Amino acid sequence: MTESDLKVAVVTGGGSGIGEAIAHRLCDDGMAIGVLDLDEAAAQRVAAGLRDAGHDAIGVHVDVSDRAAVEAGFGTVRAELGPVSVLVNNAGRDGFRRFVNITEDEWNAIIAVNLTGTFHCTQVGISDMIEAGWGRVINISSSSAQGGQEFMAHYVSSKAGMIGLTKSLAKELGQDGITVNTVPPGFIDTPMLRRSEAKGLLGGSVEDHEERTPVRRVGTGADIANAVAFLASEASGYITGQIIGVNGGRNT
C-alpha cells in the first residue's frame, strides 16, 4: 500500500485541543477524516471547518465508552468516507482527587473512556486494516503515565494501560501490516490544561511550568499532530510498539 492510498482516518476526541490539531494535520496530508467526539457540536464544527478548507471530513457524535455507539459511529464513517486506514485514539477524560478519596464510580468513569474506549475503537476500527493488510493505530496516552502524578492515580493508571495495550497490539497485529504506537504528550496548551490551571490544579501557572521545561515553552496541539502525522505515514512502517514522547524534554 502506498501513502497515496491512505484515504480515511478516524480521530476520537477530535472536537477540540490535540484531537482538532491532529484532524487538521492529517487532512493536510491528504486524508479524509472522521471526527468523533462526545460533543456533537464540536465534532460538527471541526468537520465543517475542514470541509470549508477543501477537505473530506464528517463529524460524528460518539461516546467511546459505549460499544454500540462506537460501532454505529464507525459505520457512519465507513458509509460516508470509506474503510478506515488510520485510527487515532485521542478521546480522554481527566480527573483530580486525592487517592484515598477516589470513588469507585470516578475510577470506573475514567477507565471507561481512556482505556476501555481505546479498546472499543481499536477492536471495531482495525477490521478494515486487517482486510487491507495495512493500517496505523496511534494512541494518545500521557507523560504522566511514565513519571506518575499525584492526585491523578485513576487518570495515570488509565493512560499507563494504554501504553501496555499499545505494546501488546503491536506484537499481535504486526503480521497484519498494522503498526501500533503511542504518543504521550507532555505539557500541552489545550482547553483541558487551561481549565486545570483556572482551578489551581497545576502546581503553578502554565508560565511557571514553561520555566521547568528544557525547551522553555509549553507544547501545542501542532507538536503532537506532527508526531502523529509521521506515525500515520508510510515512512514509519518499521516503527511499532514504541512510546514517542513529545514533551519538550520534561520526560527523557
Residue-wise pLDDT tens digits, 1-13: 444 455 899 999 9
Residue-wise pLDDT tens digits, 11-20: 999 999 999 9
- The domain spans of the chain are 3-190+220-236
Mean of all residue pLDDT scores within the chain: 94
φ, ψ at 215 (rounded to 5°):
-85, 0
Residue-wise pLDDT tens digits, 111-166: 999 999 999 999 999 999 999 999 999 999 999 999 898 999 999 999 999 999 99
CATH of 3-190+220-236, one of 3.40.1160.10, 3.40.50.620, 3.40.50.720, 2.40.50.140: 3.40.50.720
The alpha helices in 174-220, defined as continuous H runs, are 191-198, 206-210
Residue-wise pLDDT tens digits, 158-181: 999 999 999 999 999 999 999 999
> What three-state secondary structure class fits 111?
helix
Confidence band for 79, pLDDT divided at 50, 70 and 90: very high
Residue-wise pLDDT tens digits, 195-219: 777 877 777 888 887 888 888 888 9
How far apart CA 143 and CA 231 sit, in angstroms, is 18
Q: Which residues are marked as active site?
A: 155
- Determine the pLDDT at residue 197: 76
Amino acid at the residue 46 = V
Q: Name the pTM for this structure.
A: 0.94
* CB contact at 8 A, 140 and 163: no
* CB contact at 8 A, 250 and 219: no
